[in-house]
Structure 1
Amino acid sequence: MGAVFQNIGHILMAIIAFGILVIVHEFGHFILAKINDVRVDEFSIGMGPKLFGIKGKETEYKVCLLPIGGYVKMYGEDDEVTSSDPRAYANKSSWQKLSIVLAGPIMNIVLAILLFAIVGRVEGVKIPIVSQLIDNSPAQQVGIKAGDEIKKVNGNEVVSWEDFVTGIMLSEGKEVNIEVKRENETKEFTIKPELDESKKQYLVGIYGSIKTPTIVEAVKHGFGETVSLTKQTFGFFGQLFKGQLSADDVGGPITIIRISGEAARQGLTTLMFLAAYLSVQLAIFNIIPFPALDGGWTLILILQIITRREFNKEKIAKLNYYGFMVLMALMVVVLVKDIVRPIKF
């Protein structure tokens, strides 16, 4: 019975962690709306029917039944305002609207940097200095040794361990040129990475060294982790569009809860690392230039700023409506896939 309650506790921790990501995202929209003097009518965590809420001076803060995101409802956001009310979102400039739209993804990126920094400060960070090698690995076979400091991968400078990992991943199994510093001497090696079937990653058999960073170094590490993860995510999209990934590699909300629950079992720092990872994914997903997403609005607003004219509001509203319907349908498909063919890990 104790194990059951413990599992429930881990799942609740996972749900709370994901909820924090949504809160931070929506808070970005909320605070920039306030800065731009836009009236916010609702601040919702979750979608669908309301479970409970608190009415503030002018904003209702509520939690809804379906834990699949959230939203900030601004006065005049749907262009229902026909008056010249200065507090209506519809009557703000394109620059003001753009700052409100981008604030959500930016807050997720800031949160990711902070969480990665905290985890790095507590557990130490990997640096691109070889600590040991796997026996008979590609790196050992070409002559790389423990103590070598990795300086470049395919001509690209390596500042962090993430730079090295990203360089190997982007090679997609092709030969890579690795430059190392060994006792004040520069050496170059050509290595062909091997595919690790269990991790579905290309590896060369090198372990990095661990260092306990200062606070400034931890923040730099958090920034580096976020940049590296962003590159990896776009690399994932590239593989997806090339047909190099299958449906079994894609998960939805149930998969997120399962993985988050497992991370919670392994400790708070593991859960924080996963939360940082998901925060970056949430930011990237939202900036995809698709109707109804922040990225769709960003594209429209940038085009309006460039052309110095507003587009037809009815057409934009219709485009966003259909975009929202497509997103909801996709969410249902992913949810069903999560149940019928869950990712194995």
Structure 2
Amino acid sequence: MLVNILAPIFVFAVIVLIHEGGHFLMAKLTGMKVEEFAVGFGPKLGGIKRGETLYSLRAIPLGGFNRIAGMDSSDKNDDPRAFVNRPVWARLLVIAAGSVFNVLLAFFIFVFAFLYAGYQTFPDLPVVGGVLSGTSAEKQGIEKGDTILTVAGQKVDTWTDIGKITKTLDTRIVPVTVSHEGEEKTLTIMMTDGDNGRPLIGISPYLEHHDV
């Protein structure tokens, strides 16, 4: 789909633009002369000049760039505000600012995602949070929200108990008793192999969601 192509391009453009924004702000703060701050690359579509800086819009919307006076080592620039004539500490700050801004962007995205989505905890209850598609558990009718009461005739009090029981069994065909909407039923489940080779019923645990 088109969105699958455009989305990564948009994300890349934002990352580059934030990166260049870091260079721009630090150059301004350290007294350097920024001749142009461009959004995008390629032919210039237009721009507006504020003070000594031209803010331009380019034809290819992939990030942006700064044109700082004296940043090209081949430039012969006697302007004391040119990059090459500023103190070493100021030049280092300008160079590092782009990466710092990208780190800050990642941090704020993480914080926003955490605050928006909340977090989950594992209460270790014998409650089904999901059923693996195509497994015997799904075919036999185990559903999300069911409570596992027994596995192979052994009482289950926690989700951890399920793993302990299945690990000791020498058969892949297991009777599982569940409570579904208050009704108990015993199902015969053919266990499947997990990634580590251990037998699994084909269900995942219930996780509690917490808002921040």
TM-score, structure 1 as length reference: 0.36
1:116 has 2:115 as partner: no
1:55 aligns with one of 49, 55, 59? 49
What is the match of residue 91 of structure 1? 85
Check if 1:23 corresponds to 2:17: yes
1:194 maps to a residue whose letter is D
- What is the alpha-carbon distance in structure 1 between the residues aligned to residue 122 and residue 52 of structure 2? 52
Structure 1 residue 208 displacement after superposition = 5.7
Asked whether the 8 Å contact 1:129–1:147 carries over to 2, the reply is no
The CA distance in 2 between the partners of 1:106 and 1:45, in whole Å, is 19
- Judging changes above 3 Å, is the alpha-carbon distance between structure 1 residues 123 and 88 closer, same or farther for their aligned structure 2 residues? same
- Percent identity, please: 32
Q: Secondary structure at the match of 1:61?
A: strand
Bigger fraction of residues in helix: 1
CA RMSD of aligned residues (A): 4.2
Residue 63 of structure 2 corresponds to residue 64 of structure 1: no
Unpaired segments of 5 or more residues in structure 2? 133-157, 162-193, 197-203
Say whether 1:211 aligns with 2:205.
no
Return the letter of the residue paired with 1:22. Answer: V
Counterpart of 1:194?
195
Question: TM-score under structure 2 normalisation?
Answer: 0.55
Aligned-pair distance for 1:111? Answer: 1.8
Instruction: Give the deviation of 1:95 after TM superposition.
Output: 2.4
Distance change >3 Å, CA 38–CA 122, structure 1 → 2? same
Distance of 1:98 and 1:123 partners within structure 2: 38
Q: Shift of the alpha carbon at 1:28?
A: 0.7
Query: Deviation digits for residues 150-187 of structure 1, max 9, x if unmatched?
Result: xxxxxxxxxxxxxxxxxxxxxxxxxxxxxxxxxxxxxx
Q: 2:37–2:55: 8 Å Cα contact kept in structure 1?
A: yes
Q: What SS does the aligned partner of 2:60 have?
A: strand
Name 1:106's counterpart in structure 2: 100
Residue 60 of structure 1 aligns to which amino acid in structure 2? L
1:19, distance to aligned residue in structure 2 (A): 4.4
Distance 1:120 1:85, change over 3 A: same
Alignment partners' CA distance in 2, 1:22 and 1:54: 21
Structure 1, unpaired ranges of 5+: 1-6, 137-144, 149-192, 196-204, 214-345
Task: Answer yes or no: is the 8 Å Cα contact 1:43–1:72 preserved in 2.
Answer: yes
Evaluate the alpha carbon distance shift between residue 98 and residue 206 of structure 1 in structure 2; reply closer, same or farther with a 3 A threshold: farther
User: In structure 2, do the counterparts of structure 1 residues 75 and 127 end up closer, same or farther at CA, with 3 Å as the change threshold?
Assistant: farther
Write the distance in 1 (CA, Å) between the matches of 2:95 and 2:66: 11
